[in-house]
């Protein structure tokens, strides 16, 4: 390959790494280890979008609003009471948590819980910028997620614990 084409080939290869994962639509994910599953769902635009639908259908907004929180804690900030990694969020959804988070194990399938987890992470702009969903077609007064700044995940400290009691 002459040199201009070599450069193109490298560019294409890099693009391939960037493009493929985000855009794959996997409708039937088979059993995978938890951490691997997290990775499969995390930066995938399709799964985040499905999670967005499920968020509406399962009425998560009933307690969490559109991420701003209400009866339940906000989901778009950087505080994670029970952990902010994919498998932790999925566990929160499936098993429920103390202080009022119900268990959805018998309400959603595991795959759906992972999709919801991916969406929840998207609420605080954790996934890659180009996989984040845009606004939904509904009345909204929150900032679109593509414009969110990434918030780092950090463990809950005593100080931030007080701050969250609002």
Partner 1 sequence: MSPRDLPRDGPELTGKALHARLEKTWGRAPGLWGWLSTVDHKEIGVRYIVTAFVFQALGGLMALLIRAQLATPESGLIDPDRYNQIFTMHGTTMMFLFAVPVMEAMAVFLIPLMLGTRNIAFPRLNAFSYWVYLAGGILLWVAFVLDVGPDAGWFSYVPLAGPEFSPGKRIDVWAQMVTFTEIAALAVAVEITATILKQRAPGMTLARMPLFAWAMLVVSLMVILSMPAVTLASSFLLSDRLVGTQFFNSYEYGDSLLWQHLFWFFGHPEVYIIFLPAAGFVSEIVQTFSRRPAFGYTAIVLAFAGTGLLSFGLWVHHMFATGLPRLGYAFYTAASMTIAIPAGVQIFCWIATMWDGRPKFHTPLLYVVGFVIVFVVGGLTGVMLASVPIDLQLHDTYFVVAHFHYVLIGGAVFPLLGAVTYWFPKFTGRMMSETVGKWNFWLTFVGFELAFAPMHWLGILGMPRRVYTYPAGLGWEISNMLSTIGAFVLAGGVLLFVLNALVSMRRGKVAGPNPWDAPGLEWATSSPPASYNHAHIPVVTGRVPLWENREALPVVHGLRVDDRELLLTTVIDARPDLREPSAEPSIWPLVAALATATMFVSSMFTPWAALVGAVPVAAALIAWFWPKDPNVHPEPVID
Partner 2 sequence: MTTPSILDKIQSAAGNDGRHGQLISELFSVFLVVTLVFYFLVFAFLLWAIFRRRRGDSREQPLRAILAGWVGLIALGLAGLTTASWVFDRRLARADSGPALEIEVIARQWWWDVRYADNDAHRVFRTANELHLPVGVPARITLRSSDVIHSFWIPNLAGKQDMIPGRENDLSLLPLREGVYRAQCAEFCGLQHARMALDVTVESPAAFAAWRAAQLRPAAAPAAGPAQAGQAIVTGRQCASCHAIAGTPASGQVAPDLTHFASRRTIAAGTLPMSRANIAAWITDPQTPKPGNNMPRVPLSPAELDAVTAYLETLR
Output the smallest distance, CB 13 to partner 1, in A: 11
- Interacting residue with partner 2 among 39, 58, 65, 101 (CB under 8 A): 58
For 54-91, letters b (16+ CB in 10 Å) and e give bbeebebeeebbbbebeebbbbbbebbeeebbbbbbbb
Binding mask 97-136 for partner 2 (x = CB under 8 A): ---------xxxxxxx------------------------
Between 25 and 150, CB nearer to partner 2: 25
Nearest CA among 16, 24, 38 for reference residue 131: 24
Output the smallest distance, CB 33 to partner 2, in A: 17
State the Cα–Cα distance between residues 128 and 121, nearest whole angstrom: 10
53 contacts partner 2 (rule: CB under 8 A): yes
Between 116 and 122, CB nearer to partner 2: 116
Neighbours of 164 (CB within 10 A): 14
Q: How many residues bind partner 2 (CB under 8 A)?
A: 15
Partner that binds at residue 111, options partner 1, partner 2, none, CB closer than 5 to 8 Å by kind: partner 2
3-state secondary structure of 154: strand
State the Cα–Cα distance between residues 62 and 49, nearest whole angstrom: 19
Between 64 and 79, CB nearer to partner 2: 64
Q: What residues contact residue 3 under an 8 Å CB cut-off, 6+ apart?
A: none
| Sites for partner 2 among residues 7-46 (CB under 8 A) | 25, 27-28
Q: Which residues bind partner 2 (CB under 8 A)?
A: 25, 27-28, 50, 53, 57-58, 106-112, 137
């Amino acid at each position: 390959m002459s040199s201009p084409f070599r450069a193109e080939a490298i560019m294409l290869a890099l693009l391939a790494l960037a493009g493929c994962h985000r855009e794959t639509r996997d409708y039937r994910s088979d059993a995978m280890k938890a951490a691997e599953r997290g990775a499969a769902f995390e930066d995938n635009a399709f799964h985040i979008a499905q999670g967005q639908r499920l968020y509406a259908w399962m009425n998560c907004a009933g307690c969490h609003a559109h991420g701003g929180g209400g009866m339940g804690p906000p989901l778009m900030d950087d505080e994670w009471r029970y952990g902010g990694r994919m498998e932790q969020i999925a566990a929160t959804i499936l098993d429920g948590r103390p202080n009022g988070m119900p268990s959805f194990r018998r309400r959603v399938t595991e795959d759906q819980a992972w999709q919801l987890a991916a969406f929840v992470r998207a609420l605080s702009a954790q996934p890659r910028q180009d996989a984040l969903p845009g606004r939904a077609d509904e009345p909204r007064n929150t900032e679109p997620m593509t414009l969110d700044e990434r918030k780092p995940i950090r463990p809950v400290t005593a100080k931030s614990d007080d701050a969250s009691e609002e």
